[in-house]
Structure formats: structure tokens, C-alpha cells
């Protein structure tokens, strides 16, 4: 198929960017969206032009490094799918596709479609862990965890940290990302001891990074590649209030 692409080009965070038009031929329906951009870049190299910079690595929906706004939607038209897992069979010959970076004040643009998501790492540094140093742990089966609790913790732990939730949210809130980690660890017996400090510190860091507040539009859940539930945000608020009330 033949496509018209309108792609955001921006040299650096400090410089203005703009949409630039490209025509691309010979796109096959079996291509992934990123393979389509590979094809475009191949033609740009042929013409001696700088390629479109974008983030990606695993190309199987798990590393969380890819992510673009495609026709105004984070990761494109399919719900719960990463950009790398989106295939061109979702488009048709003659389509015009708008491609932009994930936008949020806390995710500065690096170049073109590449963004800086290091804020997420700092939110985790604020408490998104269980303090268990190497060598300390007891025998694994001495901590019994019911099947259902494990499965629920897994559902939250599955987050890939791609940032689609932030990009989709009109407030650029990182509530889904942060709450997923809080739930994962708060549900497990191993994680309960540090739960109160964890939630307070992570929420504070989230705000310090410049992520917005959650106003419960639930837009994030639809785009989340791992279908992380917005109910975790409710749990985060619960854990947060509990932490403040119980504070010794």
C-alpha cells in the first residue's frame, strides 16, 4: 500500500519542531508499524537525509521502549497494544497517518519521536522496591501467598513502563504507572512492611517530576499494553490515606 505520513521532526528539546510530510510506497500489511518506519528510514538514508529517530528495542511488546502517538492515540488505533505490536493490516492503502512523540512536561523530547522517560526510574527509586539484599532471604515456601493474591499482584506487576498512560492522560498523570507498582508490592506479604513509606515517597516523587494529577477519566487503562486496571489508582489513594492516618 501507499501511505502519506506526517511525522514530528525536532532536532533537540531546546529547538522548535514541526510536522513533515513523507510519501511511502510498498508498505505490506504484514509489516509492523516500526518496520514501516524502518522502510521510511531506509529511503531517507538513500536520499542522504537524517532518519526519523524513534525508541524501540525488543519489538515484542515487553521492554516498553517503543511508543508514539499515532493519529492522536498512544500506540495507535488498537487498544492495549504497543507500537511495535501494531501491524500495518490495521491501515489501508491511501491512509494519512499522523505520527508524534508521547507528549508530557515530564517526558521532554530528545529528538523527533524519542523522549526522556527517566522520571519513571526516579519514581521507582523513591520506594518501588522491597528492601531485600542479596543473601538475606528465607526459604521461598516459608512465605505462603494464595494463588489469587499472586495473580492479582502479577496483574499489577506486568506494567512495562512505556508511558502510554501518561501520554494519553489529559493531565499527564503517572498515576497508573505509580499505582501499579504500589499495588504489586502492597498485596504481597513481603512488601507490606514498607508499604506506608513507599506510597508516600513514590507519590511525592511523582509530583516532583511534574506529572499531573489523576482526575479519573480512565483513558489510560484503554491504552495500557498490559491492561493495567485503574482500580490500582484507587488502591494507591487508599494506601496513601492509610499511610497518613497511621503515621506514627
Partner 1 sequence: MMLDAKIPAGDLADKWDKYKEHAKLVNPANRKKLDVIVVGTGLAGASCAASLAEQGYSVKSFCFQDSSRRAHSVAAQGGVNAAKNYKNDGDSVYRMFYDTIKGGDFRSREANVYRLAQCSAQLIDQAVAQGVPFAREYGGYLNNRSFGGVQVSRTFYARGQTGQQLLLGAYQALMRQESLGKVKTYTRHEMLELVVVDGKAKGIIARDLLTGQIERHAANAVVLATGGYGKVYYLSTLAMGCNSSAIWRAHKKGAFMSGVSWIQFHPTCLPQLGEHQSKLTLMSESLRNDGRIWVPKKASDEREPKDIPEEERDYYLERKYPAFGNLSPRDISSRAAKERIDAGCGVGAMKNAVCLDFSKAIKEQGKEKIKEKYSNLFTMYEKINGINAYEQPMLISPAAHFTMGGLWVDYQLMTTIPGLFALGEANFADHGANRLGANSLLQACVDGYFVAPYTIPNYLADELKAEKVTTDHPAFEEAEQVVKAQLDRFLQSKGTLSADYFHKTLGKLLYDKCGLSRSKESLTQAITDIKQLRESFKNDLKITGDGTVNSELEKAGRVTDYLELGELMCYDALTREESCGAHFREEYQTPDGEAVRNDQDFCFVSAWEWKGSGAEEELHKEPLVFENVELAVRSYK
Q: Which does 143 bind (CB under 5 to 8 A by kind): partner 1, ligand FES, none?
A: partner 1
* DSSP-assigned letter for residue 120: H
Applying CB under 6 A, among 57, 116, 121, 151 the residue interacting with ligand FES is: 57
Name residues whose C-beta falls within 8 Å of residue 25's C-beta, 6 or more positions apart in sequence: 2
Applying CB under 6 A, among 32, 65, 168, 205 the residue interacting with ligand FES is: 65
For position 15 contacting partner 1 by CB under 8 A, the verdict is no
Q: Which does 121 bind (CB under 5 to 8 A by kind): ligand FES, partner 1, none?
A: partner 1
Query: Taking the complex as a whole, how short is the minimal distance between the CB of residue 55 and ligand FES, in angstroms?
Result: 8
Could you tell me where the beta strands, DSSP code E, fall in 94-182?
A: 96-100, 109-111, 114-115
Q: Which does 215 bind (CB under 5 to 8 A by kind): ligand FES, partner 1, none?
A: none
Q: Report how far residue 10's alpha carbon sits from residue 87's, in angstroms, rounded to the nearest whole number.
A: 25
User: Quick one: which of 99, 102, 71, 226 has its CA closest to 156?
Assistant: 226
x/- letters, 185..224, toward partner 1 (CB under 8 A): x--x-xx---------------------------------
Applying CB under 6 A, among 52, 64, 76, 175 the residue interacting with ligand FES is: 64
Applying CB under 8 A, among 14, 141, 246, 248 the residue interacting with partner 1 is: 141
End-to-end, the C-alpha distance of the chain in Å comes to 64
Angle at 205 between CA 199 and CA 209, to 5 degrees: 145
For position 227 contacting ligand FES by CB under 6 A, the verdict is no
Query: Taking the complex as a whole, how short is the minimal distance between the CB of residue 87 and ligand FES, in angstroms?
Result: 13
For position 63 contacting ligand FES by CB under 6 A, the verdict is yes
Q: Report how far residue 50's alpha carbon sits from residue 195's, in angstroms, rounded to the nearest whole number.
A: 48
Cross-strand pairs, 143: none
For position 179 contacting partner 1 by CB under 8 A, the verdict is no
Which span sits near partner 1 by CB under 8 A: 96-104, 184-192, 209-217, 230-238? 184-192
Burial of 220 (0-12, 13-18, 19+ CB in 10 A): buried
SS3 percent helix, strand, coil of the chain, rounded to 5, is 40, 15, 45
For position 59 contacting ligand FES by CB under 6 A, the verdict is yes
Query: Taking the complex as a whole, how short is the minimal distance between the CB of residue 148 and ligand FES, in angstroms?
Result: 28
Q: Report how far residue 163's alpha carbon sits from residue 173's, in angstroms, rounded to the nearest whole number.
A: 10
* DSSP-assigned letter for residue 72: T
Q: Name which of 117 and 198 has its Cβ closer to ligand FES.
A: 117
| Residues engaged in binding ligand FES (CB under 6 A) | 56-59, 61-66, 82-84
Amino acid at each position: 500500500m501507499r501511505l502519506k505520513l506526517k511525522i514530528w521532526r525536532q532536532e533537540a528539546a531546546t529547538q522548535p519542531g514541526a510536522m513533515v510530510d513523507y510519501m511511502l510506497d510498498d508498505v505490506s500489511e504484514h509489516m509492523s508499524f516500526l518496520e514501516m518506519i524502518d522502510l521510511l528510514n531506509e529511503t531517507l538514508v538513500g536520499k542522504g537525509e537524517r532518519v526519523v529517530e524513534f525508541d524501540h528495542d525488543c519489538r515484542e511488546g515487553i521492554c516498553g521502549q517503543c511508543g508514539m502517538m499515532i493519529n492522536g492515540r498512544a500506540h495507535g488505533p488498537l487498544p492495549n497494544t504497543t507500537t511495535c505490536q501494531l501491524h500495518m493490516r490495521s491501515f489501508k492503502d491511501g491512509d494519512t497517518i499522523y505520527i508524534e512523540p508521547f507528549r508530557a512536561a515530564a517526558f521532554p523530547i530528545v529528538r523527533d519521536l524519542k523522549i526522556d522517560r527517566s522520571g519513571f526510574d526516579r519514581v521507582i527509586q523513591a520506594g518501588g522496591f522491597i528492601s531485600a539484599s542479596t543473601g538475606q532471604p528465607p526459604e521461598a515456601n516459608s512465605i505462603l501467598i494464595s494463588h489469587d493474591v499472586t495473580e492479582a499482584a502479577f496483574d499489577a506487576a506486568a506494567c512495562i513502563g512505556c508511558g502510554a498512560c501518561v501520554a494519553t492522560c489529559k493531565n499527564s498523570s503517572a498515576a497508573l504507572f505509580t499505582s501499579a507498582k504500589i499495588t504489586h508490592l502492597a498485596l504481597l506479604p513481603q512488601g507490606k512492611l514498607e508499604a506506608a513509606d513507599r506510597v508516600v515517597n513514590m507519590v511525592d516523587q511523582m509530583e516532583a517530576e511534574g506529572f499531573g494529577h489523576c482526575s479519573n477519566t480512565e483513558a489510560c487503562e484503554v491504552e495500557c499494553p498490559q491492561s493495567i486496571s485503574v482500580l490500582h489508582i484507587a488502591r494507591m489513594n487508599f494506601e496513601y490515606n492509610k499511610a497518613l492516618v497511621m503515621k506514627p
